[in-house]
Chain A
């Protein structure tokens, strides 16, 4: 018995079945993704945090000084040292070259009978003085001007007394050395000290004390409360 047809058919039958059984499953293809740098075998996340600019000024108020007057002749007065501290915190971009900075000003004022914000700095950049005026018996502007002008006699500045003032600058947490301290500007007419600060934390300490400055005290200075004001601000007068 011959089975030529079967023989020929068998391989065909086998081939058909084999193909069906061994069909390949499609391999996982690289899946394209959105996003930066994503290509199916790598995915990327780009985090971004915004740090806004800020500039903050805070103050540590001075304590109450002790005033000592020589009651024998009432010609000398002495003030115990008292300090005001301003703290500046800023992260403002001060430029790539390191020479730029953010301006900040300290303005000294006192009250007279004609104005509440009379400039109150005397002396010069190396030897500053702060003028206090009697709030209960306000002097006239000329009394303060005599001290500021540097030629006051003890009787020409009633109800206005000046004391020496020192300035101390300190900084921390800055990306650049703060360019302040000795480089500040002094405008006597405005009663203003000008600084330029880099980002970081800065402290400005003003200490007043000692004897009266330049013959500014006498019996012409009536009893009462004497006041001077220091203001730190970002704008110049």
Chain B
């Protein structure tokens, strides 16, 4: 009896630390555990400088406009498009894509909305675009990432947005800053007094 008890105890002790895996003695049992980790993306606006003024003689803005976005993700470029889009309001109440053909950011006068013709003109770098002003944008991103402007990329408001390639980087800070000087020919005295607005949004879209 004692021997049996001792053997029993020994077996118990041996079994517990080994945990998973095969049972000893006469039977074997094996189980496989699986995990399903869902795709997870987090995009937050960490800080911004979103307001400023325009010098009426020169069109130069003094806002030091900046948006700082934080990105965390466990899915990458093969599965998602990470895009930075823009939208502006035009006469008639609609919203259109707010980048020029060169990727400059368009602002429109909320007190006197520009016509769609003015938007077409400013996108093409013309000089007949009352109540719309364009400024260049720059990006600061992690070294492992890359970003480029794709004028033909479809967005909810039309075409044209910046595409960020995360290149298997799981997190980082993406900073957009707006130039002070207006794009050549985009500012003139035809641009009436008012509040000029542009909305930028950073989002991820499944492919």
- A binding-site residues for B, Cβ under 8 Å: 1, 3, 5-7, 9-11, 13-14, 17-18, 20-22, 24, 27-31, 33-38, 40-54, 56, 89-94, 96, 173-175, 199-201
Contacts and interface: CB of A to CB of B under 8 A. Distances in A.
B44 A38 contact: yes
Contacts of A45: 45, 48, 50, 67, 176, 199-201
A94 B112 CA distance: 10
Given A27-B37, A42-B43, A17 B19 contact: yes
Between B25, B53, B190, B191, the greatest number of chain A beta carbons within 10 A of the residue's beta carbon is seen for: B190
Interface residues of B, number: 66
A218 B34 CA distance: 114
B19 A18 contact: yes
A175 B203 CA distance: 36
Nearest to B194: A51
A200 B189 contact: yes
Interface of B: 4, 7-8, 11-12, 15-16, 19-20, 23, 25, 27, 29, 31, 33, 35, 37-38, 40-45, 48, 50-54, 56-57, 61, 63, 65, 67, 69, 72, 74, 105, 107, 109, 111-112, 130-131, 133, 176, 178, 188-204
A51 B196 contact: yes
A36 B74 CA distance: 25
B191 to A, nearest CB: 6
Contacts of B20: 14, 17-18, 21
A119 B203 CA distance: 67
Contacts of B191: 51, 91, 175
